[in-house]
């Protein structure tokens, strides 16, 4: 007995519901397509079916699915069919092609006499009758599904059922594609997030976190669950938490947020500086739905910046100090009187000594200068370093740059005097330069530098007036370095002893081969 319209509609409605419900569980488009074809075959009585869409060139058909009954009915030897590979790139022609080309449903119950028949591939089940229905998106046919071999031929009843199923099939297919695309997009986003060094998170507009990346977990030791809401504040330095709260109080509909703060490293417990930025995510109406944030480690950069500021301040101080020294050298050199050429020579020599000290200081990472190298550079400048009358001896001692400037000038003055009047002028003269560290009873140390000339054939006659070198040793070194000095013009040569306050930390040796 024929089914009435109401009974038929109930079956169709059940089929549509099945398609839409099963679409949520299908993992691929092909699995969804086989389900849709199975429902269509059950409701129409067809023996097999297929589901395809236009390819990029629009004149070819790519299969989305072939029903299980269709695969089972194949009897050819094509290995692609045997391995259930969906055929793609089939030319749109023949009977099924008319469904797409004419954008209309089609029933053919006598395929052998149809003018558009082109036959079936080898092994394809014989086609006794055919029903094809176009699938439309935005009013345009982009795909079709076809049913084959109804036991008594297709009627308007089966056509109506198939056309009622068509919108549900389109809806299920597009939903599945959107779902697959969304999953793929999420995978790409997570892969991108996992590959960047920043800590990444999302939050509501009032700073309640809704998600945190693996980098955040690894850095802070807080799990994602512990970080949700305002749990992330546990990783923020206590002194920066108020600033972090104000960070969110300034959130606006359009602006970005940025701040610098310290986050605790979970393993070491040490705090590191991070630059945090948050950008609003808007919906289609321009409303902020969440905030996407990143925290970038700037600890090393910040420390370098602080070091740079310190170095600039030190450089400014040193420039002012050097200018003061140069001004003092110039003034005392001019005040000493004498011919202009002699004044110029003295001034040039003292500037050269100061310059040598500066060159060595800027070439060392520590900014310190090896005492022995300093002495040898002064003697080398006057060609006296290879003199057999000369003895230089002492441990490795690294002088701070400001100390080296004053000691270097003192050595220069003593060297100049020895060349003109003392041990470096007379063949019988001898010069011994020695230094060492003396430990005092009060746990303090002194660096003692001794310049000792002997064998100079002259009476002990002190200079008539106090020159630059004498003033430097007797007054400037005690004033500037806290040194104790002794300068004697003896019969046989000059004796100079400089005792500097010293720290055990300053006795580390320097690499003379690299810095000398």
Confidence of residue 358 (pLDDT cuts 50, 70, 90): low
Residues 6+ apart with CB under 8 A from 2: none
pLDDT for 151 beyond 90: yes
> What is residue 165's predicted lDDT score, i.e. its pLDDT?
92
Share of the chain above pLDDT 90, in %: 24
Burial of 32 (0-12, 13-18, 19+ CB in 10 A): buried
Q: What average pLDDT does range 215-239 have in this prediction?
A: 92
pLDDT band for position 272 (cuts 50, 70, 90):
very high
| Residue of 511, 476, 375, 505 whose CA lies nearest to 434 | 375
Residue 469 exposure: Cα atoms within 13 Å on the Cβ side: 22
Q: What is the mean pLDDT of the chain?
A: 81
Residue 515 pLDDT level (bands cut at 50, 70, 90): very low
- Other Cβ atoms less than 10 A from the Cβ of 40: the count is 26
* DSSP calls for 406-424: HHHHHHHHHHHHHHHTSTT
Grade residue 1 by pLDDT with cuts at 50, 70 and 90: very low
Task: Evaluate if residue 119 carries a pLDDT over 80.
Answer: no
pLDDT of 343 reads 63
pLDDT in tens, 466-514: 677 788 888 888 888 888 999 988 888 899 999 999 875 554 434 433 3
414-432 confidence digits (pLDDT tens): 888 888 888 888 888 899 9
């Amino acid at each position: 007995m024929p089914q009435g319209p109401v009974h038929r509609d109930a079956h169709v409605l059940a089929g549509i519901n099945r398609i839409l419900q099963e679409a949520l569980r299908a993992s691929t488009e092909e699995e969804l397509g086989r389900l849709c074809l199975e429902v269509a075959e059950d409701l129409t009585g067809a023996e097999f079916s297929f589901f395809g869409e236009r390819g990029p060139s629009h004149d070819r058909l790519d299969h989305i699915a072939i029903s299980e009954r269709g695969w089972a009915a194949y009897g050819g030897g094509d290995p692609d069919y045997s391995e259930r590979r969906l055929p793609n790139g089939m030319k749109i022609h023949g009977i099924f092609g008319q469904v797409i080309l004419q954008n209309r449903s089609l029933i053919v119950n006598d395929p052998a006499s149809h003018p558009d028949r082109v036959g079936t591939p080898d092994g394809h089940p014989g086609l006794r009758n055919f029903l094809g229905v176009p699938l439309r998106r935005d009013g345009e046919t982009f795909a079709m599904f076809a049913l084959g071999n109804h036991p008594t031929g297709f009627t308007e009843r089966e056509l109506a059922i198939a056309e009622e199923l068509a919108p549900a099939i389109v809806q299920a297919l597009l939903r599945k594609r959107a779902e697959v695309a969304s999953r793929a997009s999420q995978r790409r986003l997570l892969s991108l997030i996992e590959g960047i060094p920043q800590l990444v998170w999302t939050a509501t507009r009032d700073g309640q976190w809704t998600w945190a990346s693996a980098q955040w977990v690894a850095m802070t030791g807080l799990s994602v669950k512990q970080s949700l809401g305002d749990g992330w504040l546990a990783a923020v330095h206590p002194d920066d938490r108020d600033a972090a709260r104000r960070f969110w109080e300034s959130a606006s509909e359009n602006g970005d947020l940025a701040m610098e703060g310290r986050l605790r490293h979970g393993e070491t417990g040490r705090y590191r500086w991070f630059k945090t930025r948050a950008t609003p995510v808007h919906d289609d109406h321009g409303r902020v739905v969440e905030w996407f944030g990143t925290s970038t480690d700037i600890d090393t950069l910040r420390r370098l910046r602080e070091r740079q500021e310190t170095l600039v301040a030190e450089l400014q101080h040193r420039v002012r100090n050097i200018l003061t020294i140069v001004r003092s050298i110039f003034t005392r050199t001019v005040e000493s009187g004498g011919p202009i050429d002699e004044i110029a020579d003295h001034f040039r020599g003292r500037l050269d000594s100061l310059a040598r000290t500066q060159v060595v200081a800027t070439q060392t990472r520590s900014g310190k200068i090896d005492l022995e190298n300093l002495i040898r550079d002064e003697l080398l400048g006057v060609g006296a370093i290879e003199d057999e009358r000369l003895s230089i001896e002492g441990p490795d001692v690294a002088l701070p740059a400001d100390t080296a400037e004053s000691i270097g000038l003192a050595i220069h003055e003593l060297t100049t005097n020895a060349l003109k009047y003392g041990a470096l002028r007379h063949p019988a003269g001898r010069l011994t330069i020695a230094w060492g560290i003396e430990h005092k009873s009060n746990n303090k140390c002194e660096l003692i530098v001794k310049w000792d000339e002997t064998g100079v054939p002259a009476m002990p006659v002190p200079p008539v007036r106090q020159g630059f070198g004498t003033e430097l040793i007797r007054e400037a070194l005690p004033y500037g370095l806290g040194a104790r000095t002794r300068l004697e013009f003896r019969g046989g040569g000059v004796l100079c002893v400089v005792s500097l306050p010293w720290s055990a930390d300053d006795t580390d040796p320097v690499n003379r081969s690299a810095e000398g």
